[in-house]
């Protein structure tokens, strides 16, 4: 596996860590952290600092009996359910969005497929499947888009992206990703605005496919 070259930007990682990142983007961040030791270490190092601060904090008095209640609960409380596991190219946070099932692709034409995982006013999250050498129709963005490669690769004006790489696109970037040769490119994409396709036919199809 090639080394991951394109990481989660600091500001996005900070927003994830404070818990204010909308769900669609949080899943992309969690999936990248599942694949990228470097970003995971960055995030976990922050916890170490939080822990050191916690140690130096003066405690607040607990309710009487709090300790006894907890010690008694050790045997009676059910253990948490086992965590979701990853499967194939899909890391655990993506499998959780898929409900533990393989993707149910919808054809978009040209061999391109997608599955929408969530879509609300804060953002939408989809899996895309792009056959080797195929271009995703050209589109522009409003707002933020994060695209994580799970299988294969794609290239555009921003560079080449392989498994684990994240492309961060802000306003006004027009890019035309083309899937690399080899395995079909599967990626996880979060946007906070509907994509605007520039070719006429895809634009007409946009409301139908919600791409």
Q: Which of 1, 3, 59, 172 binds another protein (CB under 8 A)?
A: 59
The residue range among 41-49, 107-115, 130-138, 142-150 that interacts with another protein, by the rule CB under 8 A, is: 41-49
Nearest to 144 by CA among 162, 168, 163: 168
**Between 19 and 207, CB nearer to another protein:** 19
How many helices and strands in the chain, by DSSP H and E?
6, 11
**Between 67 and 170, CB nearer to another protein:** 67
The position carrying tokens 């209640």 is: 69
Size of the site for another protein (CB under 8 A): 56
**Between 95 and 179, CB nearer to another protein:** 95
Round to whole Å and give the CA distance between 115 and 128: 7
**Between 90 and 197, CB nearer to another protein:** 90
Count of positions (residues) in the chain: 211
The region, left, alpha or beta by phi > 0 then psi within -120 to 50, assigned to residue 101 is: beta
Strand positions, DSSP E, the chain = 106-109, 112-120, 123-130, 139-140, 145-151, 153-156, 159-162, 166-169, 178-179, 185-191, 196-197
Residues 60-119 that bind another protein (CB under 8 A): 60-63, 66-67, 69-71, 73-74, 77, 79-80, 83-86, 91-93, 96-97
**Between 44 and 158, CB nearer to another protein:** 44
Beta carbons of 94 and 188 less than 8 angstroms apart? yes
**Residue 79 C-beta: closest distance to another protein, Å:** 5
Q: Which residues bind another protein (CB under 8 A)?
A: 16-21, 23, 26-27, 29-31, 33-34, 40-42, 44-63, 66-67, 69-71, 73-74, 77, 79-80, 83-86, 91-93, 96-97
């Amino acid at each position: 596996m090639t080394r991951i070259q394109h990481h989660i930007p600091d500001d996005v990682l900070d927003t994830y860590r404070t818990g204010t990142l909308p769900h669609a983007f949080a899943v992309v961040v969690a999936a990248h952290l599942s694949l990228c030791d470097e970003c995971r270490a960055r995030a976990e190092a922050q916890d170490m600092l939080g822990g050191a601060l916690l140690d130096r904090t003066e405690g607040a008095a607990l309710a009487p009996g709090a300790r006894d209640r907890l010690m008694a609960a050790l045997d009676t409380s059910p253990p948490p359910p086992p965590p979701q596991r990853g499967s194939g190219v899909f890391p655990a946070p993506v499998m959780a969005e898929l409900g533990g099932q393989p993707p149910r692709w919808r054809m978009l034409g040209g061999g391109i497929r997608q599955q929408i995982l969530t879509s609300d006013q804060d953002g939408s999250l989809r899996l895309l499947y792009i056959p080797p050498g195929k271009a995703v129709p050209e589109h522009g963005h409003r707002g933020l888009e994060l695209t994580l490669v799970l299988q294969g690769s794609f290239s555009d004006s921003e560079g080449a992206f392989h498994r684990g790489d994240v492309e961060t696109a802000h306003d006004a970037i027009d890019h035309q990703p083309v899937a690399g040769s080899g395995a079909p490119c599967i990626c996880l994409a979060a946007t906070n605005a509907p994509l605007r396709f520039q070719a006429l036919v895809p634009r007409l199809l946009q409301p139908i496919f919600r791409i």
